[in-house]
Structure 1
Amino acid sequence: MSDEMEAAPDCDPYLLAQVREAFGRVVYSHKTHEKQADICFRHHRLQHAALIVLTAIGSGTFLAAVVGALGKPVVTSVATSFIALLVTAMSLGAKTFKFEEESDAHRGIASRLWDVRESYISLIADLMSGTASDAQARKRRDELQQATRDAYTDAPRTSPKAFERASEGLQRNQEMTFTSHEIDLFLPEALRLGQDEGGS
């Protein structure tokens, strides 16, 4: 807290600490939704690639030519039926598991959270430079909290895998807990409080 008071002596240090913590949470949420969108899009690509391959293999003429060359019509019939079953299952799966739509939804939330994240950076800059009064900063903070809440209300759920990838991407392992040093790593250099490594 003393570092925050030294960095921005004219603003409420508790307000600055709260805004920085909220900023850190938004950074994590934004990155997690980005990672979840990537995961969903990869599933979408794999789903469609598998459907294309199975449909091509399952085309009766090709399969009959390959398997029929062995001279066993029963094997040809069973193989054709099995591939047709897989194609049907994949087609139903594509209608049930809409990975592309889910990916787009996560990207949309990430975009909204990016805007909130950047606005928090601006608020932190205004607090630390003294250009925003505490009253103005509290009003802006409340608006950003509402924008974040609105984004979370519309957000699809993310997976532990996405959160893990976000942690790796942000070079962190502790969920939603931030030291001042860790938040400094997210901020432009001019807005950092300049603590030693590890926040001590």
Structure 2
Amino acid sequence: MSQLLQTRAKMTDDALVLEGQLRECYGRVVYSHKTHEKCADILLKRHGLIKVSQIVLSALVTGGIISTFFGTGNCGAAVSVVLSTMLLALNSYTKDYDLGEIAQKHRHAGSNLWIIREKYLSLLTDIRVGDVPLDVVRERRDELTNELHGVYAGAPSTNYKAYKKAQEALKNLEDMTFSNDEIDAFLPQELKRNSALSRQQN
């Protein structure tokens, strides 16, 4: 904690204000990225259910199963009409709304937001290290703002359900959070932080 306070003491007021703005931007991009991912997941799941329903209804309507169980009288005809109407409604819905295509657009937006998210993180790191002039930081910030505008302009709208799932993943499941041990597991021995700390202490 003392090292963090010393680092902050070295930062100018302007740098702190700029860092605060970039932290806000970073947080919004993190949520947007995860929300688009969750939107894609929801739509793909719905798309799969609709496809299965279409197959089942089509088999029931055209396969003679209805007449086998309900006969060819009024009861069988009524059931056949209901199922045919349901199938027609699903076919019309998928014709107007290609859920697979919309899900792919969400995936594409999420991919574009991911790289912007990483650029914000790198920029925040550069500010904290203090070896980048603030004019350069502002220029990069403005470039990222324009990049974000381009992504949001071409991205499909998200929904509240996806936002809540994103919030659950980020806050409770800690999708964006790793412990030192978890990160060390991915790195070679020379780059492991806990090993380096233990060597320093010894």
Q: Name the TM-score class by shorter chain.
A: 0.7 to 0.9
Give the 4+ runs in structure 1 shifted more than 3 A: 185-190
- TM-score norm. by structure 2 comes to 0.77
**Aligned residue number for residue 48 of structure 2:** 45
**Deviation (angstroms), 1:123:** 0.9
Instruction: Describe the shift of the 1:8–1:34 C-alpha distance in structure 2 as closer, same or farther (beyond 3 A).
Output: farther
> 8 Å contact 1:8–1:128 — kept in the other structure?
no
Distance 1:82 1:19, change over 3 A: same
Alignment partner, residue 6 of structure 1: 7
The offset of 1:15, in angstroms, is: 1.1
1:55 aligns with 2:58: yes
Quick one: which amino acid aligns to residue 64 of structure 2?
A: T
Q: For residue 123 of structure 1, what is the aligned residue in structure 2?
A: 123
CA contact (8 A) 2:61 2:80 kept: yes
For the residues of structure 1 that align with 2:133 and 2:145, how far apart are their CA atoms?
18
The answer to whether the 8 Å contact 2:26/2:117 transfers is yes
Cα contact 1:5–1:13 (8 A) shared by 2? no
Preserved contact between residue 57 and residue 83 of structure 2 (Cα < 8 Å): yes
CA distance in 2, matches of 1:49, 1:188: 38
Q: Unaligned regions of 5+ residues in structure 1, if any?
A: 173-184, 191-200
Shift of 1:77: 2.2
* CA drift at 1:64: 1.8
More helix by share: 2
Report the counterpart of residue 77 of structure 1 in structure 2. 77
In the superposition, relative to structure 1, how do residues 144 and 4 fare at CA in structure 2: closer, same or farther (>3 Å)? farther
CA-CA distance at 1:40 after TM superposition: 1.1
Q: Distance in 2 between matches of 1:4 and 1:54?
A: 65
Pairing 1:24–2:60 present: no
Moved more, 7-16 or 52-61: 7-16
CA distance in 1, matches of 2:120, 2:145: 10
DSSP-derived class of the 1:20 partner: helix
Q: 2:41 and 2:85 mapped to 1: Cα distance?
A: 29
Contact 1:8 1:127 in 2 (8 A): no
Superposed CA RMSD: 2.5
Q: CA deviation at 1:103?
A: 0.8
Instruction: Give a deviation string over 1:100-132, Cα, whole Å, max 9, x none.
Output: 111111111111100100011111111111232
Q: Is the 8 Å Cα contact of residues 33 and 109 (structure 1) preserved in structure 2? A: yes
In the TM superposition, 1:19-168 aligns within 5 A as 19-68=22-71, 73-168=73-168
> SS at 1:171's partner residue?
helix
Q: TM-score, normalised by structure 1?
A: 0.77
Q: Secondary structure at the match of 1:170?
A: helix
Identity of aligned residues (%): 34
Letter matched to residue 24 of structure 2:
E
Query: Are 2:39 and 2:103, in contact at CA under 8 Å, matched by a contact in 1?
Result: yes
Code of the residue aligned with 1:28 in structure 2: it is Y
* Residue 59 of structure 1, CA deviation: 1.4
Match of 1:66, as an amino acid? F
Shift of 1:189: 7.8
